[in-house]
Amino acid sequence: MSSYVEKVLQPGEIVAFKGTIHWFIYLPAFVFAALALAVLAGQAVWDGPDGQGFASIAALVLGVIALAYFLRAWFKRFTTEIAVTDRRVIFKEDFISRQTVEMNMTKVESVDVSQSILGRMFDYGDIVVRGTGHGLEPVKSVARPLAFRNAVIAR
């Protein structure tokens, strides 16, 4: 399956940067999965000699929550495309109902990058592209936000 960016490229247009959402959005899924494993590991302590199965049920619930968070994060990462070409900035998200924003490079005034301490350590952050008349909505948890900014400003 070809990407949205590849489908909308104009003749002679060159992709300078292709980005995505950072893997850090999987963190809630990892936390719940670790909790489920910890509950399973401590099952003998929780259930006691009666073996009522409370720990098994708790681990199952935590596992289902982890799976739900994982699938949500995977789908968001899979359906989000961020690209900078020599002519425009392209942002696409969602799958069935598609939301796209494209801004010509001549209209870009600035690129704002916001990174927390963890964002700086793991190289992710939120970006806002400001243009004449309007700007893009903040795009959250973008991998390599400074590389994105540099790709836009270098044009």
Where do the domains of the chain lie, and which CATH numbers do they carry? 4-21+85-153 (2.30.29), 26-75 (no CATH)
Q: What is the DSSP letter of 13?
A: -
Kindly indicate the confidence band of residue 32, based on its pLDDT and cuts at 50, 70 and 90: very high
Q: What is the pLDDT of residue 53?
A: 73
Q: Report the relative pairing of strands 81-85 and 88-93 from DSSP bridges.
A: antiparallel
- Give the pLDDT of residue 44: 63
Instruction: Answer for the pair 131, 107: CB distance below 8 angstroms, yes or no.
Output: yes
Is the pLDDT score of 52 beyond 80?
no
Segment 40-52 shows an average pLDDT of: 66
Q: Is the confidence at residue 133, as pLDDT, over 90?
A: no
Q: What is the mean pLDDT of residues 46-67?
A: 79
- On average, the pLDDT of the chain sits at 86
Residue 48 has pLDDT above 70, yes or no: no
What pLDDT is attached to residue 50?
59
Percent of the chain exceeding pLDDT 70 equals: 91
Would the pLDDT of 65 be above 70? yes
**Sheet containing strand 139-143, strands side by side:** 108-114, 124-131, 139-143
Tokens (6 digits) for 37: 């494993």
Mean pLDDT value of segment 57-68: 93
Task: Please state, in angstroms and rounded to a whole number, the distance separating the CA atoms of residues 36 and 25.
Answer: 19
What's the confidence (pLDDT) of residue 42? 78
What is this structure's pTM?
0.79
Residue 17 in tokens: 């940067």
Residue at token pair 């940067």: 17
Contacts made by residues 78-82, CB under 8 angstroms, sequence distance 24+ = 80/20, 80/21, 81/3, 81/4, 81/5, 81/18, 81/20, 82/18, 82/19, 82/20, 82/139, 82/142, 82/148
Whether residue 36 contacts residue 57, with contact meaning beta carbons closer than 8 Å, is answered with no
Question: Amino acid identity, residue 95?
Answer: F
67-121 per-position pLDDT tens digit: 999 999 999 999 899 999 988 888 888 777 778 888 888 888 888 999 999 999 9
